[in-house]
Structures are given as structure tokens and as C-alpha cells.
A and B are shown apart, each in its own frame.
Chain A
């Protein structure tokens, strides 16, 4: 045998836990199986079956109105009509556009405000714990209640108009332009604390001696922030932005309570559009088609995003 042998040959990479557990994994696997079983069953129940059903319903004209059981929906088979309709439905594209508008304004606003707040709170100061708790309250309040709070604030006869010296017929929630602004303000109010919380955790994770070292080397606060703190927070920033973007895409409760998507369709985001299609128009087959399209698109985006992050971090 002249061929050089590799030292690592025969020792494949192990992804399993090391130590004692790996050696006696037999029995452990048995118990582990029973441990994962409930979750696996729930996942099967909520993923596989509904997905197939959604696929099935989305190619029919089925609605709960006509009294046909869902499994007999093939009787009203529609081929790809729902998908074709979706591609040309201005109301869907409008809703998507408005969802993006909310995201584009709310998420960066939350990010910059959250970052500024985190910078305020990164050092100790008397009363920090108290103010920190106050800062966190908005995100702990039931979103529907936040909707109610801003619904009350933005009434014509509410305190905001009074403070700004506007007449009581100056409307926010029923105005074509200001309705969207009101909704974004409410979302920023509720979710800036989340950004703040995450970014502060990230900022506190920057090793303090590195920051001191940067100061001692003569870097100004701004230089140190840009060159030391920000790059070190990269992962945290990505997590915070992705979390908020995903949640913002789903936004429903706030808007539904504040404006019901109105006036007209001025604040109708994807979730509100779907809700109205489901309960207003009762076009369940159409909603299934839209849902599946969103599901597919988001999955592709998520997969691409994960692959991109894996490439950049690896």
C-alpha cells in the first residue's frame, strides 16, 4: 500500500452530542422518541394536512356558503383560475404595497429610535432600572388594546387634536392620508421597545474593555460607535430587523381595531385584505390560493436569506 492514508479516514463528522450520552444513545433514543412524539404529531397535524388541503381548495371555487362539504370541493374545480385572478387583482397588489409601506416606514423608525434609546441606557445612571421598565411596557400590552388606545387618542375629540390645536372635525383615522400615518405611529409606539430591548442587549454585549481601549486610543464617542460598537452588533441588528420585518408583514390587530383597513382600503394590508376576503366575500378558495402564494414566496425569501447569512458567516 503506497497510497498515503488520511488520518481522519473512518472518523466521520459527528453531529451528535458527545460524552456519555453518545455511547449509550440506544436507550436514550427510545425515551427521546416519546419526548418528540407529541411535537411531531402537532407539526404533522398543523403542517402537512392543512398544506395539502390548502393546495386542494386553492384550485376550486369552493366557499362555505353553498353547503358543499370541503372534501367534495372537486365538484367545483377551477384549475388555476384563482391564481390567474390573483395575479391581476389590484386589491391584492394594493394591499401588498401598503404592507410594504408600513414596513418601510415603521421598521426603520423603530430601529433608529431603538438604537438611540439603547445608547441612552447603555451606561448606568440613577433611575435606569425604573425608566427601563417604563420603556418596555408598550410591547407588553395586548396589541388589540394598543389599537384601542390609539383609536381613543386619534379621535376628533381626542387629546391629540386638542394638543395640536386642531378642530375636532380634523380627523386622523378616517382621513385618506393620515389614517396610514396614525397606524404607523401606533406600531412604532408599540414595537420600538422591542428594538430597544434587543439592541440594548447587543450593545451591552460589546466588551467594555474594547470600548475603553478605543477611548484611550483617542477615538471620539461617534468614531467608537461607528467603528467598534456597530460592527460588533451586526448579528444583533440583523436579528432585530428580521424579527420586526416578519412581524410587521403580519400586522393585523392594531389596524383592525383602529381603522378596519379604512377609509376605503387606505390602510388595508395583506392580513386585513385576507380577513375581508375570508369573512366579507367568503371567497375561501381564493384566500387559500393567496395564502399559498404568500407561503411559497416567504419560504423562498427565507431560504435565500438563510443561505446568504450562512455564506457570509461561514
Chain B
């Protein structure tokens, strides 16, 4: 009997993960669909394989491992810091590629020393790839959402704008469009009386009461979804912001930040210059950035080989800090990042730090195979 090379590679990867101290977990192929749709968003629906059980509950073939691995961690009574390793097939609908492919990775959960676990995660990804394939050139790009968050806060932008900008982090074009939009005043639609009057007179209580009444008249329960108070607050805030816009200096600072790129080795110095030149204070986040750098050096990563891009991020809204990708000639081989927010979204009672990576096993396998055949020819 011939064992497929992919099965052998999967076995090898799990062995490597175990040697790095990870506990290997099994995740069911069939998963409840709700957590995925809820956390990733409705956009996922057309990319996963969904079905129903007898009771009508939505199920899906696992589209990835991170969410079920985190759910497993939260269901575990012993929540010490843990490394969970996995390898298996994931299933996604895609027009031009096979619907099933292998992913393998380690989720590093519950370690409150974020600098240390960030470094451990990247090092683990790099050394796993290197153990399979020593020779191929790997390009490592690293970003940090926390730095962007700190820049927005230091600029003193309205909270709503900070959130809006953060939501576009890593999405080049969308980000520039948003900045352009915020650079102009945005006149709001004319309001009806009596709403208009309450706003002009700053009569918040009457505004809430009027909205509450209108809701009841439309038979919409003021308690079931958006509340009168919530609508009133946002309306007032929107009116207030309709006259202000991003200033030239703020735009220049944002643009300058988004263009920062260079070897990680030198990145905190570049960020320091940037902050000083733009007269903003992001010291706290830079300190954390520096600590992570030190930890990365300590585990033996070569910082000259890692490119820091200030604008590099991932759209999924549970990422909070470090984000990285490892590519070979443009093809993504592994990706990872810190996703502290995910645990809270999965209803953890306390914040739980989490960082992890995933390897595209099929591409790694291809890479290793290509090398082999080159070797044979020589």
C-alpha cells in the first residue's frame, strides 16, 4: 500500500508540533455553522459547505481550525497557558482551487506574556517550515494593528472615526477612500421635526422619548434591537461630526505612517522618528514593539530577514496586534497573528491572550517536492 506524501507530511508536522510542546487536538469535520458565520461574518456563507441536521440546525464542514480550537480551549476546565497543535483538511468553496486542502498550525492560548508568545509563534511557524524545506527562499512580512490603533488614539480622532479606520486596517484601497471621505465635511440628511428641534436645543431626554414613541408606533420593540437611547446618541454624534473633517496635518501623519516599511531590525527606530516628527506620543506601544523584538532575537529569529509594513493587517475583526505572513515567490505558505478579541467574542468571561499560525500544507508539500526533483536532477 502506498501512503500519500501528504499524509506523511501531516504526520511529520504533528511530530514537529509535539516537539515544540504542543498538545495535538482532534477537531470534528462537521461543525456547527453558527460560530463561524457569527464571528467571521455572513460573507463566509458562500465560501463554506453548509448542511442541516434533522432538527434544522446549520452545520458546516470545518472551514478552518482556529475557532473550533479556541472553543475547545474554553470548554476545558484546566485553562492554563497551552499550545494546541492541529493538522487536517479544511473545506472551502473556491472557483479555481480544490475545495478541500490541508492546514496545520499551533494556537498559543492563555500566555499573558504577549511579547514572548508572539515571538514563539513566529519562530514556531518559521522553524516548522524550515524543518520541512531548508532551502526555499521565504519572505516574512510582519505588521502590528496595535501600533496603528495607538497612532489613531494619539491623533485624538473621534472614537467613531478611530473604529472606522481600524476596520479598514490592511485594506489599502478602502483605507485611502475612507481617509478621503473623512477629509471633507459630510452634510447629513435634513431631519424632521420634532427630532430636529430637540437636537438644536440639546434636549437629549425629549429626543430619546420621541424616538421611543415612534418605535412603539411602528410596533418595533425598543428592547429587542437598537434602543432609542442608542439611536439618539449616534444621531447627536453624527450631527456634531458633520461639520468637522480630518485636517491636512492628520492626513499627512496617517499617510506617512501607512508608508513605513523596512527591516524589522530597524522598525522601532523608524516608528520613533515618525512619532517625533509628527509630534505624537506612541511610547507605550513602541515599548511593547521593542520587547517583542528582543524576544524574537532571543529565540533566534533573524530580524534583518523580516520586513515590517506599517499598513499590513488583516480584515477579520478579532485580530488585535501582531500579524504575519510567510510567502515563497508570492505564494502564501503560512500566516499568523494575535487575536485576543476572539476569545471574548466566543464568550470567555475574562480576556484571554491568543496568538497562532496556520500552514498551507499543500503548498508546503509542493515546495518540498519541487526542491526534491531539482535535487534529483543535480
Is B one of A's binding partners? no
Binding site for B on A (CB under 8 A): none
